[in-house]
Amino acid sequence: MVDGDVFREVEEEMRKERAVDLWNRYGTLIVAAAVGIILGVAGWQFWQYTQAQEAAKAGARFEGAVVLEQDGKSDEARKVLEELASDGPKGYRSLALFRLAADLAKNGKTTEAVTAYDKLAKGVDADKSLATFAKVRAAMLRVDEASFDEMNGRLSGLTAGDTSWRHTARELLGLSAYKHGKKAEAEKIFQDILVDNGATSALRQRAQVILSLLVEPEKAAPAATVPKSTAKTPEKASGSDATVPQN
């Protein structure tokens, strides 16, 4: 037993010596690493706190701008939104830009609004859903003047599959095809709307109206063989002057 106690004491002394030796060699590094971890955690928590504070301030500024607009102080509201768009946190920066673009459209500045939405669609700040919304908004503003090819380019990738914006994108593209006399394209697009289980009843009704307008000229065609003195002029149902159902 005595020999066992001696061996244990020797092992204990050896462990202490190794510990002291390790501390003398790496103690400074260990302390530095521990301090670094503590500072890192503290820094991360401080960053999160400051981000939350900035977001809260930006939210208050954005809500203030909305109130100013509602009170008819559009110039003051626009100034606040422009400041947010310039120096606000990422999310509120995008919201401010969307609000400014909508304000341009509301005041009849369509070209500027389209430019603003196009910029948002390509911007790094907008996530995929917001970028898609910007594309659709720009297309809405352009549908009355843009060529079918332009609208097809703007809405490319949004009309197929199960994308959440496919209904609006299809209707806009179909209206463009209808306006520019592209009957085959218009029929296909509006037929796709009718067979889509996700389409609303209102959208189906509008699609059915356009499809019926596309068929009317064919029904009226035989009247062209009747002498002018007795033929009835068919009611104009297609072309650029036709009334286009709105959303």
pLDDT tens for 193-244 read: 999 999 999 999 999 999 999 886 555 444 333 334 333 333 333 333 433 3
In a domain, 28, yes or no: no
In a domain, 149, yes or no: yes
In a domain, 172, yes or no: yes
Q: What's the one-letter identity of residue 26? A: Y
Write down the pLDDT at residue 46.
54
H or E element at residue 146: none
In a domain, 229, yes or no: no
DSSP string, the chain: -HHHHHHHHHHHHHHHHHHHHHHHHHHHHHHHHHHHHHHHHHHHHHHHHHHHHHHHHHHHHHHHHHHHHHTT-HHHHHHHHHHHHHHS-HHHHHHHHHHHHHHHHHTT-HHHHHHHHHHHHH-SSS-HHHHHHHHHHHHHHHTTTS-HHHHHHHTTTTSSTT-TTHHHHHHHHHHHHHHTT-HHHHHHHHHHHHH-TTS-HHHHHHHHHHHHHHHHHHHHGGGGGS-TTTPPPPPP-SSTTSPPPP-
Residue of 178 and 228 predicted with greater confidence? 178
What distance in Å separates the CA atoms of residue 245 and residue 183, rounded to the nearest whole number? 17
Lowest-confidence region among 9-23, 162-176, 192-206, 229-243: 229-243
Residue of 126 and 186 predicted with greater confidence? 186
In a domain, 103, yes or no: no
In a domain, 1, yes or no: no
Assigned token pair, 205: 């009704």
Residue 232 carries which DSSP code?
P
What distance in Å separates the CA atoms of residue 57 and residue 180, rounded to the nearest whole number? 49
Q: pLDDT-based confidence at 49, cuts 50/70/90? A: low
Residue of 145 and 78 predicted with greater confidence? 145
Q: pLDDT-based confidence at 65, cuts 50/70/90? A: confident
What is the average per-residue pLDDT within 144-161? 91
In a domain, 117, yes or no: no
Number of folded domains that form the chain: 1
Cα–Cα distance list, 27 to 31, 33, 39, 92 (Å):
6, 10, 18, 47
In a domain, 179, yes or no: yes
What distance in Å separates the CA atoms of residue 5 and residue 7, rounded to the nearest whole number? 5
For residue 162, the enclosing domain spans: 143-218+238-242
What distance in Å separates the CA atoms of residue 73 and residue 66, rounded to the nearest whole number? 10
The rounded percent of the chain whose pLDDT value lies above 70 is: 64
pLDDT, averaged across the chain: 77
pLDDT reading at 184 higher than 50: yes
Write down the pLDDT at residue 236.
36
Write down the pLDDT at residue 161.
76
pLDDT reading at 29 higher than 60: yes
